[in-house]
């Protein structure tokens, strides 16, 4: 019989990973996804919006730009600081609060819309995270998500990392959030409707080497993976990532353009 997964210890390690490097360097390149999700959720002026696992605030800013009253949350305080800097630069009135998506400190039905772009999918307890998002969203409200798919580039990147640094036993892969079947399993009892649309985000860098250098320096999971591996395995990981990037590159010999599939989801709360 397998021992139960220690989610508290796992989240402590995750927090350390996301706090390492500076995710905002990567996160700001994904702003387009937040804008698309805000439009898909058809946000209205003065709606109460919660962004969970908000990172440096892409969905937060997109919602605030549309006149929503936004509360931006993450369990990594330094990421919220980056989001607050961005909001201040644009004179956007946003509330920032440290909070864990698996235990949200808000009353039932507190928000009209709950958002997450490439955030909640990395919380280890999928069912609890989904239940908390549904709990704080009012009946008739919307839950909007952008999640990487298993088959897309980021899904393949995490599988590549896993070959050198296996993920913890007993934890569901984050990329399951990018499958409609898993979403229906998580949200089915609380959803009146689930709309899921496949979309592409293009990663744009000079080369595979440039991408790897940026991600191993700034992107927590990749940064931590390289730091944890002995030199031979780190070299193997770099070789595997180079092969993956070059295989998916559609930018030609002088640039790197890698399309990465994600699922844009709008769930109407029952």
pLDDT tens-digit series, residues 97-131: 999 999 999 999 999 999 999 999 999 999 999 99
- For residue 40, give the nearest of 122, 148, 109, 143 by alpha carbon: 143
pLDDT reported for residue 109 = 98
Is the pLDDT score of 133 beyond 90? yes
Weakest mean pLDDT among 12-16, 54-58, 149-153, 239-243 = 12-16
State how far the Cα of 240 lies from the Cα of 260, in Å rounded to an integer. 17
Task: Report d(CA 37, CA 39) in Å as an integer.
Answer: 5
Nearest CA among 76, 40, 82, 35 for reference residue 57: 82
Is residue 151's pLDDT more than 70?
yes
pLDDT band, residue 169 (cuts 50/70/90) = confident
| CA 24 from centroid of its chain's CA atoms | 12
- How far is the C-alpha of 264 from the C-alpha of 142, rounded, in Å? 13
**For the chain, which domains are there?**
7-202+260-269 (3.40.50.150)
Q: Is residue 2 scored above 80 in pLDDT?
A: no
Please report which confidence band the pLDDT of residue 8 belongs to, taking 50, 70 and 90 as the band edges: confident
pLDDT, position 4: 57
Average pLDDT over residues 130-146: 98
Q: How confident is the model at residue 18 (pLDDT cuts 50, 70, 90)?
A: confident
Cα 239 to its chain centre, rounded Å, is 25
Q: What is the mean pLDDT of the chain?
A: 95
Q: Is the dihedral of CA 111, 114, 88, 121 positive or negative?
A: positive
pTM attached to this predicted model: 0.95
Contacts of 6 (CB under 8 A, 6+ apart): none
pLDDT for residue 12: 86
Q: What CA–CA distance (Å, rounded) separates 140 from 13?
A: 36
Radius of gyration of the chain (CA): 18
Torsion angles phi and psi, residue 263, rounded to 5: -105, 125
Q: Any idea what DSSP says for residue 91?
A: T
Q: What pLDDT is recorded for position 6?
A: 82
Q: Under a CB-based contact definition with an 8 Å cutoff, are residues 96 and 64 in contact?
A: no
């Amino acid at each position: 019989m397998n021992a139960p997964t220690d989610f508290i210890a796992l989240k402590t390690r995750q927090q350390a990973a996301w706090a390492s490097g500076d995710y905002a360097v990567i996160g700001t390149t994904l702003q387009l996804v937040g804008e698309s999700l805000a439009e898909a959720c058809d946000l209205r002026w003065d709606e109460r919006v919660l962004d969970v696992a908000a990172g440096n605030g892409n969905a937060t800013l997109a919602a605030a730009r549309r006149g929503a009253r936004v509360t931006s949350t993450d369990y990594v305080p330094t990421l919220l600081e980056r989001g607050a800097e961005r909001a201040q630069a644009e004179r956007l009135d946003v509330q920032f609060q440290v909070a864990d998506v698996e235990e949200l400190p808000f009353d039932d039905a507190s928000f009209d819309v709950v958002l997450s772009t490439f955030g909640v999918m990395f919380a280890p307890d999928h069912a609890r995270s989904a239940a908390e998002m549904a709990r704080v969203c009012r009946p008739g409200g919307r839950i909007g998500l952008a999640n990487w798919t298993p088959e897309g580039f980021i899904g393949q990147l995490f599988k590549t990392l896993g070959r050198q640094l296996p993920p913890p036993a007993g934890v569901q892969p984050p990329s399951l959030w990018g499958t409609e079947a898993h979403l229906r399993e998580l949200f089915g009892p609380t959803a009146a409707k689930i709309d899921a649309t496949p979309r592409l985000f293009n990663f744009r860098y000079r080369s595979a080497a440039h991408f790897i250098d940026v991600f191993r320096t700034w992107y927590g999971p990749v940064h931590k993976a390289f730091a944890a591996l002995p030199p031979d395995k780190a070299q193997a990981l770099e070789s595997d990532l180079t092969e993956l990037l070059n295989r998916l590159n559609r930018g030609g010999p002088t640039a790197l353009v890698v399309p990465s599939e994600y699922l844009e989801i709008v769930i109407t709360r029952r």
